[in-house]
Chains A and B, each alone.
Chain A
Amino acid sequence: MDFILHLINGISLGSIYAIIALGYTMVYGIAKMLNFAHGDVIMVGGYISFVVTANLGLPPAVAIVAAVAVCTALGVIIEKLAYKPLRAAPSLAVLITAIGVSYFLQNAALLIWSSNPKSYSSMFSFEPLRLFNNRLSITSVTIVTVVTGIVVMAALTLIISKTKMGKAMRAVSEDKDAAQLMGIGVNKTISITFAIGSGLAAIAGVLLASAYPIIMPTMGSMPGIKAFTAAVFGGIGSVPGAMLGGILLGVIEIIGRAYISSELSDAIVFSVLIIVLLVKPTGLLGKKINEKV
């Protein structure tokens, strides 16, 4: 029974990683950049929802909408101000800029909300689901997280495969110049991608803060790194890969923590990543790249 509980918790944590990883992977696919500030957008989402409920006393639904709105706007603004001027720059310059943005967000949060961790009351407070004569109790946050994960993944898959905007996204990620020639607004598509990715980060922020009920300015960096790992694990640039990578990573982390060592759970996660990359150098669902000679 313990194992099933760990598995469910793993899937729940993995769903959060997957939601963050989707943002990473979409931005990577389209802008070909590692957006290291993505994790800090999660933190902003957490704080905004906190402010709306704890400080303004508004209901959780409003808090979630506000967090998503603020983060979506934030993502678009960051892209416009910091990344857009560097479209033609070497990837390393963009990477360092993203790190600058990450420092900026963390320190801005530090100034506004101080470095002291704040306790966060879960946005989802209905009764836990009890199964097998109370032997298995699944918390409300876990249920919401898994359901949200499924909904987000399904919605995103639909958007990317069925809508015109999704088609534009795929075209830009395939070949920016060709897409431009075909009349696709590349800047607009990149903006939309950042908007979606950051909106997802806000959702992840609310879920993460509800599950691990403490928020602080650095709360986004480790989940950010893990989600980045998940994205690479699944094959960076691949949407189904990010989902698969995220969930596997969450499960490995929780199971590793429960059965092997709690101190070494991160080491286990990263070791599995290295092993997977050695066997499949472009991740589980990544495309093989052939260099033309």
Chain B
Amino acid sequence: MSKMVPVPSAGIIPERDLNSSPILEISHLGITFGGLVAVEDFNLVIGRTEISGLIGPNGAGKTTVFNLLTKVYQQTKGAILLDGVDTKGMTTVQVNQLGIARTFQNIRLFSSLTVEDNVKIGLHNQYKYDTLSGILRLPPYWKAEKQAKERVRELLSIFNMEHMAKYKAGSLPYGAQRRLEIVRALATNPSLLLLDEPAAGMNPSETEELMANIRKIRDAFQIAILLIEHDMSLVMGICEGIAVLNYGKIIAKGTPEEIQSNPEVIEAYLGKQKEDGSDA
């Protein structure tokens, strides 16, 4: 049964909690695709309630790291420890049950189903009853469905989306689809939430709101969040720790201030951004 976490009205940002045992420890992680090294010697430690950012130019291997964490790919080298448990050889389903949930760069919703059903599917392993109870409508069905329905409402309220519950997920506006993906991931009761470009396609005011909501989620659920993002205002604004990836390797790690002043980063990534004229 999931821990029922209320959604607080205002959040308090906790201190960086690297002193307690970390939720995620990645060491020497690597993967090669037919001789091509996509990620190499990747090391990262994330605290239990830390918001971290993974940045880098296109093709640097950021999403590959997410795919390794969620076992879409199996690593060829190194280890991933979630809360001290080695995830080597596990399946996507198993690591999700262990506590890793994610969103996708190219939105992957269950688009022909309603918003409510999308979140209910996220609650698949939270409110269980067997298939026969479902077909015969036995008491476990009614009990679990009622609890799930309430939980769906609570979760949708994070983004004030309750009124959209009956809409088809595929018919939602882009921003709402991204938010729904986050809600669905949260429904699986993760201890680590991976967000792949959550602000992509959003306007500045939407991004602003998203930043507040990411903090709110961390505070309410007391979970760690690792996000990939190109929008530097978001990354610098909410991340407590940042790792910079280039050509599959980490070239810098540190606080937003440290990253912004790191010459190697500026050269590889931020510098290029400045030339483009976008803000860094």
Instruction: Give me the interface of A with B, judged by CB distance under 8 Å.
Output: 293
Give the chain B neighbours of A293 by CB distance below 8 A.
63, 67, 72, 104
Quick one: closest A residue to B102, CB to CB?
A293
- Cα distance A293–B228 when bound, in Å? 14
**Smallest distance from the beta carbon of B206 to chain A beta carbons, Å?**
25
4 A-B contacts (beta carbon < 8 Å): A293-B63, A293-B67, A293-B72, A293-B104
Residues of B within 8 A of A (CB): 63, 67, 72, 104
A-B contact count (CB 8 A): 4
Q: How far is the CA of A293 from the CA of B67 in the complex (A)?
A: 8
A160 to B: closest C-beta gap in Å: 27
Cα A122 to Cα B104 with chains together (Å): 62
Closest chain B residue, CB of each to CB of A293:
B72
In this complex, what residue of B is CB-closest to A290?
B33
A184, B206: Cα distance in complex, Å: 42
Which A residues lie within 8 Å of B63 (CB)?
293
Q: How far is the CB of A287 from chain B (nearest CB, A)?
A: 14
In whole Å, how far is A138's beta carbon from the nearest beta carbon of chain B? 46
Nearest Cβ in chain B — how far from A243, in angstroms? Answer: 28
Rounded to whole angstroms, the CA-CA distance of A293 and B63 in the bound complex is: 8
Mostly helix, strand, loop or mixed at chain A's interface? loop
Q: Name the residue on B nearest A291 (C-beta).
A: B72
**In the docked arrangement, what's the CA distance between A212 and B104, Å?**
57
A293-B105 Cα distance, complex, nearest whole Å: 8
Q: How far is the CA of A293 from the CA of B72 in the complex (A)?
A: 8
Contacts of B72 in A (CB 8 A): 293
Tell me how far the C-beta of A291 lies from the nearest C-beta in chain B, rounded to whole angstroms: 9
Query: What CA separation (Å) do A293 and B66 show in the bound complex?
Result: 10
Closest 4 CB pairs of A and B: A293-B72, A293-B67, A293-B104, A293-B63
Q: Closest approach, in angstroms, between the C-beta of B71 and any C-beta of chain A?
A: 11
Chain B nearest CB from A255 CB (Å) reads: 37
Tell me the minimal C-beta distance from B175 to chain A in angstroms: 22
> Would you give the shortest CB distance from B108 to chain A, in whole angstroms?
8
Question: In the complex, what distance in Å separates the CA atom of A293 from the CA atom of B103?
Answer: 11
B104 partner residues in chain A, CB cutoff 8 A = 293
Q: Nearest chain A CB to B149's CB is how many angstroms away? A: 31
A275 → B minimal CB distance (Å): 26
Chain A residues positioned under 8 Å from B67 (CB to CB): 293
CA distance A127 to B72 in the complex (A): 63
Considering the complex, give the chain A residue whose CB is closest to the CB of B108: A293
* Shortest beta-carbon distance from B59 to chain A in Å: 13
Question: Once the chains are docked, how many angstroms separate the CA of A293 from the CA of B104?
Answer: 8
Which of chain B's residues has its CB closest to A292's CB?
Answer: B106
| Docked complex Cα distance between A102 and B104 (Å) | 43
A293 to B70, CA, bound (A): 11
A293 and B194 alpha carbons, distance in the complex (Å): 14
- Whole-angstrom distance between the alpha carbons of A175 and B49 in the complex? 46
Shortest Cβ gap from B103 to chain A (Å): 12
Q: Which residue of A lies closest to B70 (CB)?
A: A293
Closest to B63 in A: A293
State how many angstroms separate the Cβ of B67 from the closest Cβ of chain A: 6
* Cα separation A188 to B104 with both chains bound (whole Å): 39
Minimum CB distance partner of B64 in chain A: A293
Min CB distance B280 to A, Å, is: 28
CB distance from A135 to the nearest CB of B (A): 52
Bound together, the chains give a CA A80 to CA B72 distance in angstroms of 42
Shortest CB distance A92–B (Å): 15
Say how far A2's CB is from chain B's closest CB, in angstroms: 47
* Chain A min CB distance to B251 (Å): 24
